[in-house]
């Protein structure tokens, strides 16, 4: 194990990519693809993924060893977080042998970027109320509808999309998951600009998009199971991700800021920084435990919501600490101060962490019902055919 860690440390030191701070997403994508290919060739991509599909076939110990040295670098892995964290693991869980052979290795080499297409304007956290529909067309399907809040859609080559394939059964029973080529005719992507000034999300529109029959991921009309599988991977991925070394809301960054401003001797600042260190360390340990359990074959299941919820709460705490350390500068900064601008952007971006992948309230419901075994909330629509529900555009019918 020492040899693996040493080899990873030496390789990263010799091959670290150019700084990504201040670069646009468009600039980062080609750099990210080049670095990911080198990472794969060096044996550090897909460390725990099966060797039969291009992974390294190694264990959790090797992954932890790599992560322990990689955390000291700002790696350009943003374009791949959806593929590596959500779509890839779901394909490995539910995909056919042909799908695994076709998609997993190019994903690990950074040759193809993926996105996840779940949320809709009329079905946000209630994913099962989606209205994008796919109808049979010979051996394939024709897809029409709209998705929203889609991360990386502007760069994506493929996506995992949920569509309604049977409106005559209750809403959870008539859904299918498909793999879609984002370059197909009829797929259009429009960026969504948020209050940070950036456009990290997109609207995606489908107009008579043809999907081959063998692009069904899982089984027809069993897409809710596929969605739950992917959402489980998503919650673990979001909740247990470790921010880049330069994350302005990381303990180390805020400590450096406090020292720079001469505020590190202030008892209030010291107290809040100490609390943040404890919370971020707790999240890190939770990450290690869940990944070890997953590698040991123990299902994470609904406990992924714990990681997702804690991750959002720790990010929110980081924003609070930034306010204590920087005061008004955290949200009203000198335009010539790039570091202050980056900190402010991170602070105003924090509320989105508590929404992406299901709101904190959704996570609490999942934890209450599936982890703690509390009674379920009343669900008056659970046994009603979807076409009879007054949801989204059906409200006016």
| Tens of pLDDT, residues 108-129 | 999 999 999 999 988 767 888 9
Question: What is the mean pLDDT of the segment spanning 131-141?
Answer: 96
182-203 pLDDT, tens digit each: 999 999 999 998 777 778 889 9
Q: Pick 339 or 259 by higher pLDDT.
A: 259
Q: What is the pLDDT of residue 333?
A: 74
Question: What is the mean pLDDT of the segment spanning 294-318?
Answer: 82
205-214, 248-257, 283-292 — which one is most confidently predicted on average? 205-214
Q: What is the pLDDT of residue 173?
A: 94
| pTM of this structure | 0.82
Residues 6 or more apart whose CB falls under 8 angstroms from that of 339 comprise 248, 257
Rounded to an integer, what distance in angstroms lies between the CA atom of residue 364 and that of residue 131? 26
Question: What is the mean pLDDT of the segment spanning 240-266?
Answer: 81
Helix axes 267-295, 304-326, angle to 10 degrees: 160
Q: What percent of the chain is predicted at pLDDT more than 90?
A: 50
Question: What is the mean pLDDT of the segment spanning 253-266?
Answer: 90
Task: Put residue 177 in one of left, alpha, beta given phi > 0 → left and psi -120 to 50 → alpha.
Answer: beta
Among 34-43, 208-217, 373-382, which stretch is predicted with the lowest mean pLDDT? 373-382
Rounded to an integer, what distance in angstroms lies between the CA atom of residue 120 and that of residue 378? 23
Query: Is it the case that residue 26 has pLDDT exceeding 80?
Result: no
DSSP string, 121-162: TTBSS-GGG---EEEEETTEEEEEEEE-S-TTTTT-SEEEEE
Question: What is the mean pLDDT of the segment spanning 199-221?
Answer: 95
Alpha-carbon torsion angle 158, 197, 357, 98, nearest 10: 10
Query: Is it the case that residue 295 has pLDDT exceeding 90?
Result: no
Q: What is the pLDDT of residue 341?
A: 79
Q: What is the pLDDT of residue 397?
A: 53
Question: What is the mean pLDDT of the segment spanning 292-299?
Answer: 71
3-state class (DSSP) for residue 38:
helix
Q: Confidence class of residue 392 from pLDDT cuts 50, 70 and 90?
A: low
Provide the token pair at 332: 């009203």
């Amino acid at each position: 194990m020492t040899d693996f860690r040493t080899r990873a440390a030496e390789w990263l030191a010799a091959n670290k990519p150019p700084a990504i701070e201040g670069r646009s997403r468009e600039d980062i994508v080609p750099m990210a693809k080049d670095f990911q290919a080198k990472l794969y060739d060096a044996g550090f991509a897909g460390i725990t993924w099966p060797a039969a599909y291009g992974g390294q076939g190694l264990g959790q110990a090797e992954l932890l060893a790599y992560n322990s040295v990689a955390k000291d670098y700002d790696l350009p892995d943003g374009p791949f977080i959806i593929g590596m964290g959500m779509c890839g693991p779901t394909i490995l869980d539910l995909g056919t042998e042909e799908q695994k052979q076709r998609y997993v290795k190019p994903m690990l080499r950074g040759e193809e970027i993926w996105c996840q297409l779940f949320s809709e304007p009329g079905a946000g956290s209630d994913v099962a109320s989606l209205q994008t529909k796919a109808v049979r067309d010979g051996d394939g399907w024709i897809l029409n509808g709209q998705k929203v809040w889609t991360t990386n859609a502007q760069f994506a080559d493929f996506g995992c999309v949920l569509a309604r394939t049977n409106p005559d059964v209750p809403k959870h029973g008539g859904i299918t998951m498909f793999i879609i080529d984002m370059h197909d005719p009829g797929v259009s992507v429009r960026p969504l600009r948020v209050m940070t000034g950036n456009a990290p999300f997109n609207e995606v529109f489908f107009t008579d998009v043809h999907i081959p029959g063998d692009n069904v991921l899982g089984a027809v009309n069993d897409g809710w199971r596929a969605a739950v599988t992917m959402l489980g991977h998503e919650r673990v991925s979001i909740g247990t991700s470790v921010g880049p070394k330069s994350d302005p809301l990381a303990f180390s960054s805020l400590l450096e800021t406090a020292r720079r401003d001469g505020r590190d001797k202030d008892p209030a600042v010291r107290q809040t920084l100490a609390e943040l260190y404890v919370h971020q360390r707790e999240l890190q340990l939770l990450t290690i435990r869940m990944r070890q359990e997953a590698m040991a074959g123990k299902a994470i299941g609904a406990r992924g919501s714990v990681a997702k919820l804690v991750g959002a709460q720790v990010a929110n705490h980081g924003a609070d600490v930034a306010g204590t350390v920087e005061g008004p500068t955290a949200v009203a900064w000198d335009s010539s101060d790039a570091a202050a601008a980056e900190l402010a952007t991170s602070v105003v971006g924090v509320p989105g962490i508590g929404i992406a992948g299901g709101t904190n309230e959704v996570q609490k419901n999942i934890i209450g019902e599936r982890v703690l075994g509390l009674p379920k909330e009343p669900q008056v629509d659970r046994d009603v055919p979807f076409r009879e529900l007054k949801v989204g555009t059906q409200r006016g019918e």
